[in-house]
Structure 1
Amino acid sequence: MSSDVASKVAEIKKEGGKDIWLYGGASLINTFIQLGVIDIYRLSVHSTALGSGKPLFGDLKNQVNLHLIKTNTFKSGVVQLIYQPKK
């Protein structure tokens, strides 16, 4: 199944046009991370402290090194961190 995902992403990227926006749970995102098909990570940090919860990137097989390329701060207090994978 993951090879189907990788080939479909490659096919969509060849078409050109707008970016592919992936929004979903940890298992969906982990699939794309493991395949190495994520070009940009946009992480939003909300100003709420939780006592428990699920890890953002659970069950990663390998470390993913990221390079911060931009930050955005919003009136709501949300901070968006934009990263590219280091090569």
Structure 2
Amino acid sequence: MTNTKTRADACWTTASDGGSAETSPMELSALGEHLTVCRTGRGRMFALRCGADGLQGFVASRFVTTLAAVAMLAGALLMVI
């Protein structure tokens, strides 16, 4: 048995191309499957992962400034101790 479904049949489209602009049952089914997969990825550590990703993005875009701030903080702590 061969798979007769082409890539164009499986694609999500937002254009109606002159047809009905309503959501087809196939599109709703595909969306439901996608949402189910997305929900399973949310474990107890999801918020921690999101925070770590945000922190990494912040630090990566400001790497030199972050190094300078850490060096200044370390220097200030050494002066106090």
TM over 0.5: no
Which protein has the larger Cα radius of gyration, Structure 1 or Structure 2?
Answer: 2
TM-score where L is the length of structure 2: 0.20
- Higher share of residues assigned helix: 2
